[in-house]
Amino acid sequence: MTRRTTAIARLEDHPNLEEVLGVLAQLAHITDEDLGRLAGGWHNDPFLGQARSKALTPDSPLICEVLSAFDAVSALFEDDLRGDAPYVAVDPGVAVLALKAVRDAIAASYARPLLSRAEHGALMRPWRAVYPYTTGGQPDLGPQSDQVHALLAALPRLASRCHDASGLQLWESLVDQSYVGESERAEARDSAFSAAVVTSRRRVWALVRRSGAEGLGRSCATCRTPRSYGADRDSERVLTLCLDAVCALLVADALPDGTTALLTAPVQVLVPGQRRPS
């Protein structure tokens, strides 16, 4: 059976799935050293320019996912592109070039069915020089990854609160809790972020915040009402409360237990039975 590339409707059906997942899973784990190597390996020429345009045509497989992965890259490396935070160690110009290599790898892996072997190889070259092998399909969310995933998976329930009574109850409980211990939680969040920087997980931090915001920002499963966070104060507070908890779980192994507990206690209602670190 021949499959038209335009007929690929879901990522699971993509013939180059393994490479796509490998590239996506690596994004949050690109190190400062990798950025330098990716930047050094990237260049442009007419052949590459043409291959890139071909990869990014509107008919390219899952092109909307490709563009959303580009957005994710900009979000994960926002600090590196701005370059003003004290923990940023890479020149922003280097980061810009490195991210061109990253975007070429994303585009090439998705567009593999449309590209010739030479075009695919040329677009992937800087990436493959740094990451020669395709490894696992999931980003590493740390020793407590099960808990991180469980909490992320629970967040879309809140988006259905207009038609799900238990979702509404959870929502109201979170709004109430968001007013308790705010300054202590803000301090704890700063400690957690420092732990993420020290343990080289600040880009994973950005990744899980993005995933969490996406889960909370889904439309209601019944009436399709879209949720926009930050539109009102309560939703912004709940968003912060939930994202801080996800991030605390991400770096729990590098935080005092009391700090983790402070940030995760308010969201225990979302994941009943989840154990706090002892």
Q: Note the residues at the interface with Zn ion (CB under 5 A).
A: 162-163, 220, 222-223, 225
Minimum separation from the CB atom of position 156 to Zn ion (A) = 12
Q: With respect to Zn ion, which residue has the nearer C-beta, 202 or 227?
A: 227
CB 90 within 8 A of CB 203: no
Minimum separation from the CB atom of position 167 to Zn ion (A) = 9
In sequence order, the 6+-apart residues with CB closer than 8 A to the CB of 240 are 178
Q: Is the Cα torsion angle 245, 20, 48, 33 positive or negative in sign?
A: positive
What is d(CA 175, CA 240) in angstroms, rounded to the nearest whole number? Answer: 11
Q: With respect to Zn ion, which residue has the nearer C-beta, 17 or 220?
A: 220
Which residue is nearest to Zn ion, using beta carbons?
A: 220
Q: With respect to Zn ion, which residue has the nearer C-beta, 57 or 222?
A: 222
Q: With respect to Zn ion, which residue has the nearer C-beta, 74 or 219?
A: 219
Alpha helices in the chain (DSSP H): 17-26, 32-41, 46-55, 63-76, 78-82, 92-110, 117-130, 145-154, 156-159, 165-178, 182-198, 202-216, 233-250, 257-264
Minimum separation from the CB atom of position 94 to Zn ion (A) = 46
Minimum separation from the CB atom of position 221 to Zn ion (A) = 7
